[in-house]
Structure 1
């Protein structure tokens, strides 16, 4: 027998968990002979693709990483002095390896189940504390997507809070970063907000304005004293947003001390690689009186069932999940992982270390400014932090050329040149730049005397005197060993995919393969500035072009935009593209969005942000869209119909048979079809949005295409569009990516969170057409296997025409309420079995929505099913009186190690039942670190920063 010298390991066998024997066993339980039969019984015939996806042959992990390494080398890693909101930084090795590269941190889900997310919640509370301290504000959230969208959220919050409802003007300082102004334009447009761009020093404000925004330090580097400007604004009842540099705030008077109402910015400088634009955690801080208006997530302090200190996400009723079109924003994804990195960076360096980094950065800027001044170059900024400017006139071209020869990028605008220093800048860089400028002046390099004895140029009235980061957390972990142990102590409190499956409906918590993750830490991807010249980023362009082609093939669309850096932002972008399309056709009056009653909360919230009128379409008893109601409303609103927003498979986990008819109905009445891509994991390779009839669809790359959830972010939500919508895809004011009729930018960076696109590129390249299609089939197989095992114990609410679900199903727990058991009790009890709960009470209150994904093996799904069946027996024990209705394992869940090992045990059930209800639990027990958290206590007494330890006791002891 010959040896197979052509053998190559297939990545899909690593990604798709069930083996051949497991597959046969699962098919038998479901009651079908093959996966093909199951798929035929699940998908309507009229939406199936007629041919396989046209994608390159799958690469092995080794082949892909070897090829990508060569692609990465097409990027030129020049020394960046571009600034403009993006700066090179040093990620401490202990944070790089133990957080950024650690699946114990990047595979967690959003901390909705607080009891098994205490480590992450603490790290995010640290982030909020850091932001509150540095900005001088009273409350902060646990990160937004980027600085520009944070500024846009600030503008909308100001707009919502205005007392003069006729005020529609918004002042924007001419020194705000251009990418921020671009995003403000996009957000302002639907509401008819007029952006007035000017110089704050001489602009005459009136009561027609509801808000203003300035940059601190200004985008050109100048340090302005905005105190008088803020006072004038407040005299006219106008609120002020300040976009502030987080590192500069270690030296400068915090905006909260001179009149800011809102402070926004980016924490990228705190140890997060530039990554060609992201992902980076933005911050948002404001006054406590606006706590119910602040967008995004707030982490708060509360107590658990034993009255001990605990953390949870506070004020959740503000979110779009609950308030839908009345929400303050459509935010669904944060940048949790990056915020966590920034918070650890602050803890590792502490206030003294951060100040030293800032002083060194500031000093290098002064050194170069004074050195070049001696050479005859007049520096334009009188007061500055890290950025100096020159008008070089005719010398700009030779200096530009000389800098490129030395692999240096500066910021150029005509003859104006700006030079921004950062943590990675050195005195050697100052010498190199001085020699380049001297050479142009024909001064010999040996004659250049670099100034190395400098004094700050920050004016006295702008120097920071307020202390910051005084909490022990920021003053205790400065050695690597201490920081390592602190990181690990928090990681141990969190359940991630490292411990068990996370069976969340609509969230697709699948494998994030190591081979997909490795390249994002390569310097040729991580150290690239988003505004670097095009000829220096050909490696990135290669990845974008291939990914654009592949995702267009998968969706059936003509082109993609990678700019939206969350799924909800993708929704908003898609609707803005549809809006621009209608306006271009002279039909700007089309503003009605039809949205099914079962839609995810971001759908109506996004439509409201696009200033669309929302008309709800009824659902039938089986969960499907009421086609008759949809047709009637499409006809009723045909003159003003803008679009339908629809999720497919449906939010109920069903391939609705009428979807093609639904899309046709919308088109016949002048509308466009927006498809929510949350459930794309049930489509890839079997059908596609375009094949069904959609015109635009966002893709949750952090779901279907393997970017990790990161504990609640990063996300990516690129949109694919049909050919007629391509001209309207978003452009960018700094980097020319515009189409013929592009809307303005929706994110700070041209390609959103560019560096993590590599993960999805890797997934598709290593899976190939067959692998991707098989992944979809196994996602459907695994879901139907769980359905078959559990439907005897829990009613499955909805299924397709042949009794099959798509990739997820809804388990009905509402009947248990009759004897006092809520769905929340089941969610908490699952923690005792070592599992994160499925999606709770969405899309139907009192239910659990379960999605296993293709990456889970049969034995793991069996563990989950065994746990759910055991819990059902516990529920029955409550019903028949075997368990006390108030004192039972469900009501008291989760049970901590401290509770189980306490001297006193006053429950009618045993410790064994509480902690080790099934044999497998004892083999690898995951202990929740706190008992059931008290949400209402935390909302009544909101603490969203790290108070002194004695304050915890004051708050917690009754």
Structure 2
């Protein structure tokens, strides 16, 4: 018989437990279901026998890859302890004043934008705006971004952003090759005064495609040798503002497609590239209110002529209308999306930098055309003051035509003396030493007269230079009058009515109210892993020690970043089972591309240049075949069986057939169909047997962490979506981060960077502009892993798998589950087969997606990887209550479909076909639909407590593509509608 514990001792034990309990423990904050909910869901998943989480995992994951030992990671930290630890690391970074330029500038992020966009989960937890009716706010902001870019560049059409300036220039090379009149021409010319990282990324992109990149002086080139494209920098990296009209005319006379890499702020004063004759303009919008962040994330832009609108890479927002005739935004020309064009795609860039593009567009809205011009004029004026002072001090300027950057020719001895004085004042300049010595100084929005005084004291410490006298000598511009911009810009209403903070704040929140995000409900997108982006993880990204460092600052000033990178690389290597990690790729698609380049370089190092065949399952992500083609490989599809698994016999036959030329297999694991394929080890062994390498797409890593490791079961390369599994938010369609893990034999082939020391000897150049990609958001993933620890990460994966099986079990009686594993289990996602409903009720998958909006949900992934299906991924962050709410919505919709099947509702005029139902429609004076307003607007009880209203009715996509409009109307065009 158990002896009762005396009252005092019981109290003492409870107190001891309380003392050991940390109230800010993160694991139960991140994982949605409580222990009681886990037990209840397990009972639902296995109603006939008791089932534990471990047993469910054993039923789901193949025994030969199921990992029993815990990850070798430090114990989990509380939120407060993790933040304190990261703060200590951040303190090892030194925030010096940076005047380095090279396409990166300090700027002032208006607090109203920082707090209400960058730090607002209503904006950073949104998904890509594929369901346009519940993404109107973000689409409008991107529409404004496109208008901003087209106006300032003087071109016809711009996309909704790309990853960075260097990759945008590489995309311009690809477009130029596609549209060039010179067929089978492989020569591409790049001006030597382009940013060095841009040149390097272009060279990396060109190499596997067999393109010849000529780096030289375009003013001396006659282009008599067939050349398909030319890239110019305007203003140049060394500061030169050059009149490129003759160069462009000469190039175009020879059929050359001309790209101008440019600066949006400079274009408020300079003649735009379109008026100079350029076909394409690219650049970065970083200096429009987006912090340096040690290199990213930043939104690049890409503008071109209307004739090339179907070749433009990335996403394009267009204006259409809904079924009631109301104007509505949506993604235009979807046929360009890479998941459709696959290996015929000209690019694998299906990602963007939406959150950063939104910030840049609202920066322009806030300042307006005159405000932007004032900022640019002030920067240019200060640059003239600096230039005059340097000349007065006896220094020789390389160029007398400039915008914000001056270059000084000097001696090696003077350079080192100046550098010592600059470092003593904690100032970074850009230094170059080859056969001659140069120093480059770039000014920006944050520069003050005090900075100019300090800079002049560095160059001329013994002289007293009067700033007042220098200011008197400032001219309107330091370039010829004919390069002064004459064309008006940003005349549209949106750029001329929100200059007060009160007005901008209201505009931001009006837009936010039109977008569904994770602040509203779960977003159950298969393969997209929309999980909690915890506030504690997000806080550090705006710390100055992370946000205000130039990407090319000396490594001695970024020891905190280096420590964070190293720790994150080690943790990711342990989680994946790989020997090395590169953090450089700044998107999942970029990670795919980088991983395949690593494989290519490995084969070439062994003299196996002929290995070009890449086997890709028919079910693969659309970016997979596009990435393979970009990496110079030839795609051979591999069949899938009726269960959605790779057809091993077909794989073996094709691997054997192509054994002499086999380069790689690209595979997603768990499979694209949401199942742990049991033959994964055998699949990897087949590829290795015939000399190939296995590339594993890490999009579904959220089903593996702590339970199995790609490096253990045979993968050689794996990219990780940190914006999925490791909690970096999607940001409405970007930022993303896609680092790659590699086996030991591939470490020498990881991407390098020309502007970082100690990286010589790598076989592979950079794939992105910044050495560590989107460095400023890597603290998010560091925080997540540190706060979860080995136990928490493993538990998160277990719950992700449980949640998916729970949803599958609840919905199976209403919607068939298309694919399951050997024990009738799914991995972290499940596919609902909706195809029979088309025959029984005339209902398409799109109808269900739109009706879900009325219930307050974003649809799961639609018609992928199988047309007519929905792929549901609930993630570990959703509670049982939220899962039940989603399931009840889907069950209710099935009942609405049953009304059609039984003839109670009409096959054409029914609540699904007319969905979604915005407030404007439901509250109109006219209601002629054969169902009640209440059924339309409040289909579930919870919608009566809180209702998220779709902004518009169903959008007519075909009309928008036939009548493509991608920029705002001017103020004159807009005025009649205001009246």
Q: Normalising TM by the smaller chain, what interval?
A: over 0.9
> Can you list the C-alpha shifts for 1:145-174, whole angstroms capped at 9, x where unaligned?
000000000001000112221311001101
Partner SS, residue 837 of structure 2: helix
CA–CA separation in structure 2 for the residues paired with 1:593 and 1:491: 43
1:680 aligns with 2:701: yes
2:446 aligns with 424
Query: Does the 8 Å contact 1:371/1:450 carry over to 2?
Result: no
CA–CA separation in structure 1 for the residues paired with 2:280 and 2:880: 50
- The Cα of 1:697 is off from its aligned counterpart by 0.2
1:169 aligns with 2:187: yes
Out of 12, 15, 24, the position equivalent to 2:30 is 15
CA–CA separation in structure 1 for the residues paired with 2:977 and 2:349: 30
Query: Does the 8 Å contact 2:491/2:970 carry over to 1?
Result: no
CA–CA separation in structure 2 for the residues paired with 1:780 and 1:166: 50
CA–CA separation in structure 2 for the residues paired with 1:846 and 1:739: 50
**Stretch of structure 1 that moved more, 147-156 or 448-457:** 448-457
- The Cα of 1:679 is off from its aligned counterpart by 0.1
1:328 aligns with 346
CA–CA separation in structure 1 for the residues paired with 2:904 and 2:732: 39
Partner SS, residue 746 of structure 1: coil
1:588 aligns with 2:588: no
Partner SS, residue 904 of structure 1: coil
CA–CA separation in structure 2 for the residues paired with 1:372 and 1:308: 58
Against the structure 1 CA distance between its residues 560 and 26, is the aligned structure 2 distance closer, same or farther, given a 3 Å change threshold? Answer: same
Query: After the TM superposition, which residues 356-505 of structure 1 pair with which residues of structure 2 at under 5 Å, given as runs?
Result: 356-393=374-411, 394-414=413-433, 415-439=437-461, 442-443=462-463, 445=464, 451-453=470-472, 454-455=474-475, 456-505=477-526
Out of 840, 843, 846, the position equivalent to 2:862 is 840
Partner SS, residue 47 of structure 1: coil
- The Cα of 1:392 is off from its aligned counterpart by 2.1
Query: Does the 8 Å contact 1:726/1:739 carry over to 2?
Result: no
CA–CA separation in structure 2 for the residues paired with 1:139 and 1:133: 9
Query: Does the 8 Å contact 1:431/1:450 carry over to 2?
Result: no
> Can you list the C-alpha shifts for 1:106-142, whole angstroms capped at 9, x where unaligned?
0000000000000000000000000000000000000
- The Cα of 1:738 is off from its aligned counterpart by 2.4
Query: Does the 8 Å contact 1:674/1:695 carry over to 2?
Result: yes
> Can you list the C-alpha shifts for 1:238-296, whole angstroms capped at 9, x where unaligned?
11000001110010000000110000000000000000000000000000010000000
CA–CA separation in structure 1 for the residues paired with 2:779 and 2:977: 46
CA–CA separation in structure 1 for the residues paired with 2:389 and 2:590: 46
CA–CA separation in structure 2 for the residues paired with 1:447 and 1:342: 36
Partner SS, residue 181 of structure 2: coil
1:79 aligns with 97
Partner SS, residue 673 of structure 1: strand
CA–CA separation in structure 2 for the residues paired with 1:554 and 1:739: 28
CA–CA separation in structure 2 for the residues paired with 1:790 and 1:426: 62
> Can you list the C-alpha shifts for 1:291-329, whole angstroms capped at 9, x where unaligned?
000000000000001011100000011110111011121
Partner SS, residue 128 of structure 1: helix
> Can you list the C-alpha shifts for 1:776-795, whole angstroms capped at 9, x where unaligned?
00000000000010000000
Query: Does the 8 Å contact 2:385/2:467 carry over to 1?
Result: no
Query: Does the 8 Å contact 1:222/1:384 carry over to 2?
Result: yes
Query: Does the 8 Å contact 1:319/1:328 carry over to 2?
Result: no
Partner SS, residue 265 of structure 1: strand
- The Cα of 1:949 is off from its aligned counterpart by 7.1
- The Cα of 1:374 is off from its aligned counterpart by 1.0
CA–CA separation in structure 2 for the residues paired with 1:952 and 1:115: 23
Out of 945, 948, 951, the position equivalent to 1:926 is 948
Query: Does the 8 Å contact 2:58/2:66 carry over to 1?
Result: no
Query: Does the 8 Å contact 1:325/1:605 carry over to 2?
Result: yes
Out of 241, 252, 255, the position equivalent to 1:234 is 252
TM-score by length of 2: 0.96
1:293 aligns with 2:293: no
1:705 aligns with 2:726: yes
- The Cα of 1:448 is off from its aligned counterpart by 8.0
- The Cα of 1:737 is off from its aligned counterpart by 5.3
> Can you list the C-alpha shifts for 1:575-631, whole angstroms capped at 9, x where unaligned?
000000000000010000000010010000100111211111100001011000001
- The Cα of 1:450 is off from its aligned counterpart by 6.0
Against the structure 1 CA distance between its residues 253 and 516, is the aligned structure 2 distance closer, same or farther, given a 3 Å change threshold? Answer: same
1:6 aligns with 20
Query: After the TM superposition, which residues 778-793 of structure 1 pair with which residues of structure 2 at under 5 Å, given as runs?
Result: 778-793=799-814
CA–CA separation in structure 1 for the residues paired with 2:175 and 2:465: 56
Out of 537, 562, 565, the position equivalent to 1:516 is 537
Query: Does the 8 Å contact 1:576/1:610 carry over to 2?
Result: yes
> Can you list the C-alpha shifts for 1:755-805, whole angstroms capped at 9, x where unaligned?
111100000001000000000000000000000100000000000000000
Query: After the TM superposition, which residues 801-812 of structure 1 pair with which residues of structure 2 at under 5 Å, given as runs?
Result: 801-812=822-833
1:181 aligns with 199
1:192 aligns with 210
- The Cα of 1:553 is off from its aligned counterpart by 0.3
CA–CA separation in structure 1 for the residues paired with 2:952 and 2:595: 41
> Can you list the C-alpha shifts for 1:654-678, whole angstroms capped at 9, x where unaligned?
0000000000000000000000000
Out of 632, 636, 652, the position equivalent to 1:615 is 636
- The Cα of 1:736 is off from its aligned counterpart by 2.6
Unaligned runs of 5+ residues in structure 2 are: 1-10
Query: After the TM superposition, which residues 444-843 of structure 1 pair with which residues of structure 2 at under 5 Å, given as runs?
Result: 445=464, 451-453=470-472, 454-455=474-475, 456-736=477-757, 738=759, 740-818=761-839, 819-843=841-865
- The Cα of 1:191 is off from its aligned counterpart by 1.4
**Stretch of structure 1 that moved more, 87-96 or 193-202:** 193-202
1:45 aligns with 2:63: yes
CA–CA separation in structure 2 for the residues paired with 1:949 and 1:33: 65
1:306 aligns with 324
TM-score by length of 1: 0.98
CA–CA separation in structure 2 for the residues paired with 1:521 and 1:195: 38
2:935 aligns with 913
Unaligned runs of 5+ residues in structure 1 are: none
> Can you list the C-alpha shifts for 1:458-487, whole angstroms capped at 9, x where unaligned?
211110010100001001111111000000
Query: Does the 8 Å contact 2:491/2:971 carry over to 1?
Result: no
How many pairs align?
953
Partner SS, residue 36 of structure 1: helix
Query: Does the 8 Å contact 2:323/2:955 carry over to 1?
Result: yes
CA–CA separation in structure 2 for the residues paired with 1:490 and 1:127: 14
- The Cα of 1:332 is off from its aligned counterpart by 2.1
- The Cα of 1:912 is off from its aligned counterpart by 1.1
1:99 aligns with 117
2:141 aligns with 123
2:4 aligns with none
- The Cα of 1:207 is off from its aligned counterpart by 4.4
**Stretch of structure 1 that moved more, 269-278 or 165-174:** 165-174
Query: Does the 8 Å contact 1:728/1:740 carry over to 2?
Result: no
> Can you list the C-alpha shifts for 1:704-738, whole angstroms capped at 9, x where unaligned?
00000000000000000000000000101111352
- The Cα of 1:955 is off from its aligned counterpart by 12
Out of 208, 215, 228, the position equivalent to 1:210 is 228
- The Cα of 1:739 is off from its aligned counterpart by 6.2
Query: Does the 8 Å contact 2:222/2:250 carry over to 1?
Result: no
CA–CA separation in structure 2 for the residues paired with 1:446 and 1:287: 48
- The Cα of 1:844 is off from its aligned counterpart by 0.2
CA–CA separation in structure 2 for the residues paired with 1:388 and 1:475: 33
> Can you list the C-alpha shifts for 1:399-449, whole angstroms capped at 9, x where unaligned?
10111111100000012000000000001100111112112xx33x47887
> Can you list the C-alpha shifts for 1:487-510, whole angstroms capped at 9, x where unaligned?
000000000000000000000000
CA–CA separation in structure 1 for the residues paired with 2:942 and 2:968: 38
Out of 922, 930, 933, the position equivalent to 1:900 is 922
